[in-house]
Amino acid sequence: MKTEVLIIGLGLIGGSLAKALQRNENVHVSGYDADALTARKAFKMGIIQSSPPSLEQAAAAADVIVFATPVGATVKLMERSKYWDLKENVILTDTGSTKVQIMEAAEKLAHTFIGGHPMAGSHKSGVEAAKEVLFENAFYILTPGKETAEEDVEKLVGLLSVTKAKIKVLEAKEHDHMTAIVSHFPHLIAAALVHQLDREEQFPFARQLAAGGFRDTTRIASANPDMWRDITTQNNEMIVEQLDHWMDQMTHLREILQKNEPEPIHRFFAKAKETRDELPVAGHGAMYSVFDLYIDIPDVPGIISEMTGYLAEAGISIVNLRILETREDVFGILVLSFQTAEDRESAQRVFSERTAYDTYIS
């Protein structure tokens, strides 16, 4: 008998999970979306295997229900689920990026709920962007409740194993604390840096100078403001705590800069370099990231088409392309972004075989 999985919310995450789960022939994936057109499109594209006429009917047949919706919408759906005629052993889970609020809501449910957060994403959104490889090598965090049976956790881990994600089990508070450090708070810093630039009306040329490293550093500030408003309010306590730590760090930095003594300033930068260099290069982290390859190239006509042509011949796809600090008669930096570390490594081999240009990973 097949395991019946219902995915509610057929955007990038829900659609990609639906496609990945179909790798298991013993799983049947149905899908529901508030937008009926999206559900029909997902069915026609083969992203889901069936599209039941009503949410209640779909839920009644499911062994596993996945809420692949924003956290606020998920909490409302969890409340509605109290009135659904669910199987006794059904497992409910979600894909939200904050977990404490979700797990507090789960305490009021009669059925097993295991929080989930696949830490993967894309520069594209919507069901059209769904891909079954999205979660490969990404962390997929599960946050079971205190009373959750170990066998239910193992059942969900087994179901999700076909995604090829790195599944880890954490407590909800641990998850929200760590994502506040490495994901949520950095978005605030990136946004604040852009606001700092926006204040420089007296120096409009500063925006032109920001086209290189500054633009890369603040890339995440271009994320959906509605989503980040919700994340910030949902994980507010953890983020404010990080902001307090940051203010202490900035006070310390201001003090050593005011003293203007070379050695303490050097130690500040040296410690940052040491910690940064120890971070893992491969694999997905808490924030959506692509895998960048930097290539020193001369500023000559046709160089971009030459480089991308080599990749096309090798069947390697890129998800983004940009140029840093290109000026006449000097080498610029071509930055190519890939979906996976494997694609980046393959591209690096291609360029080392076909060109004399230096390539490196930052």
pLDDT score for 123: 60
According to DSSP, the β-strands at 27-32 and 3-8 are: parallel
- pLDDT mean across residues, the chain: 89
> With 0-12 CB in 10 A as exposed, 13-18 as middle and 19+ as buried, what is 128?
middle
Question: Could you give phi then psi for residue 7, rounded to 5 degrees?
Answer: -110, 120
Same domain (yes/no): 222, 126:
no
Candidate from 52-61, 203-212, 219-228 with smallest mean pLDDT: 203-212
pLDDT in tens, 301-315: 888 899 999 999 999
pTM as predicted:
0.75
Quick check: is 283 in a domain?
A: no
Dmax over Cα atoms in the chain, in whole Å?
72
Same domain (yes/no): 274, 315:
no
Q: List, in sequence order, every beta strand (DSSP E) within 3-111.
A: 3-8, 27-32, 64-67, 91-94
Q: Is the pLDDT of residue 251 over 70?
A: yes
CA distances from 90 to 18, 109, 150, 219, 238 (A): 18, 12, 14, 40, 32
Quick check: is 285 in a domain?
A: no
pLDDT in tens, 63-96: 999 999 999 999 999 999 999 999 999 999 999 9
What CATH number corresponds to the domain at position 337?
A: 3.30.2130.10
Q: How far apart are CA 11 and CA 163, in angstroms?
A: 17
Q: How far apart are CA 76 and CA 58, in angstroms?
A: 17
Same domain (yes/no): 223, 318:
no
Give the CA radius of gyration of the chain.
Answer: 23
Q: Which amino acid, 127?
A: V
pLDDT score for 284: 55
Same domain (yes/no): 208, 301:
no
Nearest-10 Cα torsion for 335, 338, 343, 345: 40
> With 0-12 CB in 10 A as exposed, 13-18 as middle and 19+ as buried, what is 241?
middle
Residue in this structure with the two tokens 């300033």, named with its chain if needed: 265
Quick check: is 12 in a domain?
A: yes
Quick check: is 284 in a domain?
A: no
Q: Which two tokens stand for residue 192?
A: 């604040």
Residues 6 or more apart whose CB falls under 8 angstroms from that of 134 comprise: 12, 13, 16, 20, 118, 120, 121, 122
Same domain (yes/no): 320, 255:
no
Q: How far apart are CA 15 and CA 30, in angstroms?
A: 11
Quick check: is 248 in a domain?
A: yes
Neighbour tally for 350: CB within 10 Å: 17
Q: How far apart are CA 65 and CA 6, in angstroms?
A: 5
Q: How many residues does the chain have?
A: 362
Q: How far apart are CA 256 and CA 294, in angstroms?
A: 34
pLDDT score for 58: 93
The model's confidence at residue 20, banded by pLDDT at 50, 70 and 90, is very high
Same domain (yes/no): 117, 8:
yes
Q: Is the pLDDT of residue 328 over 50?
A: no
Q: How many domains does the chain have?
A: 3
Check residues 168 and 203 and name the one with the higher pLDDT.
168
Q: How far apart are CA 125 and CA 188, in angstroms?
A: 22
The model's confidence at residue 214, banded by pLDDT at 50, 70 and 90, is confident
Same domain (yes/no): 140, 222:
no
Quick check: is 337 in a domain?
A: yes
According to DSSP, the β-strands at 139-144 and 112-118 are: antiparallel
Quick check: is 286 in a domain?
A: no
pLDDT in tens, 23-48: 999 999 999 999 999 999 999 999 99
Same domain (yes/no): 71, 22:
yes
Q: How far apart are CA 214 and CA 224, in angstroms?
A: 19
What CATH number corresponds to the domain at position 111?
A: 3.40.50.720
The model's confidence at residue 216, banded by pLDDT at 50, 70 and 90, is confident
User: Which domain range does residue 349 map to?
Assistant: 291-360
pLDDT score for 212: 64
Q: How far apart are CA 210 and CA 214, in angstroms?
A: 5
Section 187-216 average pLDDT: 83
Same domain (yes/no): 9, 151:
yes
Check residues 324 and 34 and name the one with the higher pLDDT.
34
pLDDT score for 136: 87
227, 70 contact by CB (below 8 A) = yes
pLDDT score for 283: 52
Same domain (yes/no): 209, 272:
yes
* Last-in-domain residue among 229, 256, 278: 278
Same domain (yes/no): 108, 224:
no
* Last-in-domain residue among 170, 205, 228: 170
pLDDT score for 325: 54
Quick check: is 208 in a domain?
A: yes
Same domain (yes/no): 166, 179:
no
Neighbour tally for 251: CB within 10 Å: 9
Angle between helices 303-314 and 341-354 in degrees, nearest 10 = 120
Candidate from 127-131, 278-282, 334-338 with smallest mean pLDDT: 278-282
* Last-in-domain residue among 149, 170, 191: 170
